[in-house]
Amino acid sequence: MMAPKLLLSLTSIPIAAALVLPDGVGRLPALGWNSWNEFACNISEANFLTAANKFVELGFKDAGYEYVNIDDCWSVKSGRDNTTGRIIPDYTKFPDGINGTAAKIHDLGLKIGIYSSAGATTCAGYPASLGYEEIDAATWAEWGIDYLKYDNCGVPSNWTDECNFCVPDSTNVNIYVNGTCTNTTGLCADDYDWSTSRTAERYRRMRDALAAQNRTILYSLCDWGQADVQSWGNETGSLWRMSGDITDKWPRILEILNENSFYLNNVDFWGHGDADMLEVGNGNLTLAEARSHFSLWAAMKSPLLIGTALDTLSEENVEVMLNEYLLAFHQDPVFGAPATPYKWGTNPDWTFDPERPADGREDSELGRGT
């Protein structure tokens, strides 16, 4: 039996108005490292300084990787400062505060990211930023933050959307997205304008607060592909998640690839779909799977955020994520669009989409096995 293949065509597709930041920040997809996949809440300043130093030592900085990003669990859980209203860093994890860690990262010529959520609490139950956008944006700018990952947890009932978005169903045996919805009740009308939704408004509030600062902070919308984010994400942030969380299991990587294939026509300069952090170096991925995973994320022009411990990363996996040809395509300053499938989605008979013919363009293929 012939293996089905994902075929990617290099075409330029115009996108809607995008958020343009000063000095070219966000024009190209981000390159960096994030703590969550490897460390979750078990973080300390040492994790981030190790990652930053390994960026320099292993050649990642020279290849263009620049962000060292703190994910969830960096603050105390007890609440905000009673006087200033600010989120309080956990000084047992960050003895010099987040600003102290930021200064050390900056001294290496790198940038630092932080995490919050567009709700009352983060996904791990820490104070989040809904209703405190101006205070938090000003705090992060003062600390020297360069990147914000903004999650979608802890949403109060008065901020939930009036109707439901169709979340793709992936229940069939091959973990393919089959085009139906996991939720079948309360769906919004097909012509519903999701840019007017409460979800979009929650994310716009932080966009506006960041824009009011005297520091450029790259804004990452982590709403898990909800609320038709591809239709309003580019004018709200520099990158937007297209699907739910990744795991270090190959079937989940393929599922994310397939879900994201439907949204790549919204990706170009200044606006990038985020397929989630990389799992190269984690779990039981084979080297071939790790290569395919990285190659496809680069082809989609997803942000490439390493999600493993760099001090124990194998030489082979270092080479995977320093592939100069893939990084050259990913960071191309002239051609901003991703490689987009012209076999669109997962039609049961793998039918050809006439709107995306090859026309002699360069293609890449992923053999999926029988």
| Residue positions annotated with a catalytic role | 151, 245
Taking the C-alpha atoms of residue 369 and residue 213, their distance in angstroms, rounded to an integer, is 50
Of the candidates 364, 343, 345, 369, the one whose C-alpha atom is nearest the C-alpha of residue 354 is: 343
SS3 49: helix
Taking the C-alpha atoms of residue 366 and residue 56, their distance in angstroms, rounded to an integer, is 32
Joined tokens for residue 55: 């960026």
Taking the C-alpha atoms of residue 196 and residue 151, their distance in angstroms, rounded to an integer, is 19
Q: What's the CA angle centered on 366, arms 303 and 298, to 5 degrees? A: 15
Taking the C-alpha atoms of residue 123 and residue 125, their distance in angstroms, rounded to an integer, is 6
Reduced 3-state DSSP string for 318-370: HHHHCCHHHHHHHCCCCCCCCEEECCCCCCCCCCCCCCCCCCCCCEEEEECCC
Q: How many residues does the chain have?
A: 370
Nearest 5°: phi and psi at 137?
A: -60, -45
- Rounded CA Rg of the chain: 20
Helix (H) or strand (E) holding 47: helix 45-58
Question: Hey, what amino acid is at 110?
Answer: L
Residue 303 CA, chain-centre distance (Å), reads: 6
Nearest 5°: phi and psi at 194?
A: -70, -15
